[in-house]
Amino acid sequence: MIDLTIAIPAKNEERNLPGCLEAIGKDFAAKVVLIDSGSTDRTKEIALDFGAEVIDFAWNGQFPKKRNWFLRNHTPNTKWILFLDADEYLTPAFKEELAAALAKDDKIAYWLNYTIYFLGKQLKGGYPLDKLALFRVGAGEYERIDEDQWSKLDMEIHEHPILVGEIGKIKSKIDHLDFRGVAHYVNKHVEYANWEASRFLKKLGDSDLDQKLTWKQKIKYGLMQSPFIGIVYFFGSFFLLGGFRDGSRGLAFAILKMSYFTQVYCKIKELKQEKIKN
């Protein structure tokens, strides 16, 4: 087994979790941990049946959120930690490349690539999905953003780990599959928009936070005060990055993302107006 802990933050994931665990397998990672936020379905039972450790997490609305809380309070005794969502499925090609990369032992972390499935099929075009979700235990933690319950999100969403050292990239992709439907997707992004808008306003007065942003975040935040941010995203996703290759599904996906970024812009304007009134 690889000297690796796979930590799965979850809440009510009984539809996605079985496939996620099956894709991991019982002879790949030294440890699999479910960090549960009060699931009311069979999520915890499924994890226990698989042989995973289950840890309960209750968020108090302040820092730290779920991933940093786990790193601080249940520090893995393995060399590596991989944070995996319940709707993410390790592929054989990814597992093979991961094992080879960790055997070299010459990096402190790896960027990971993901496929995106929408309306039951993998998207061929659109913006790529990548995350810095695999790193050495003790090398760092997710960026600290002090918030006062901007949303109901108890887990780091768009925060990145702050790490010092050489970071590699694993090219083989993890399959990102979510079987909870379009309604869940839309509702989730309403919460994301509230969080993004609040974080943006906090960033305006925090020069230190600017230095921690990735180049993608810098571009995004540079556009957030423009009503054209949604249109820019749509043009880039559908035309420049080949979303048109997915036909009507690609068009619908790009429109949903355009709506999301337009909502972030509107929420920023709304919060600014509320601040002036108060």
Rounded to an integer, what distance in angstroms lies between the CA atom of residue 135 and that of residue 109? 4
Identify which of 52, 48, 49, 86 has the alpha carbon closest to the alpha carbon of residue 66: 86
- Positions of the chain with pLDDT lower than 70, given as ranges: 205-213
pLDDT score for 191: 92
Comparing CA positions, the residue from 244, 259, 115, 117 lying closest to residue 186 is 259
pLDDT at 203: 78
The pLDDT of residue 159? 86
User: Residue 189: its pLDDT value, please?
Assistant: 92
Interval 25-39: pLDDT, tens: 999 999 999 999 999
**Residue 73 buriedness (CB in 10 A; 0-12 / 13-18 / 19+):** exposed
pLDDT of residue 58: 96
Q: What is the pLDDT of residue 205?
A: 63
Question: In the 8-state DSSP scheme, what is residue 3?
Answer: E
**Is domain 2-179 annotated with CATH 3.90.550.10?**
yes
pLDDT of residue 15: 94
Total Cβ atoms within 10 A of residue 276: 7
Tell me the per-residue pLDDT of 12-28, one tens digit each, with 9 for 90 and over.
999 999 999 999 999 99
| Domain regions of the chain by residue span | 2-179, 182-277
Q: Give the span between the Cα atoms of 142 and 81, in whole angstroms.
A: 13
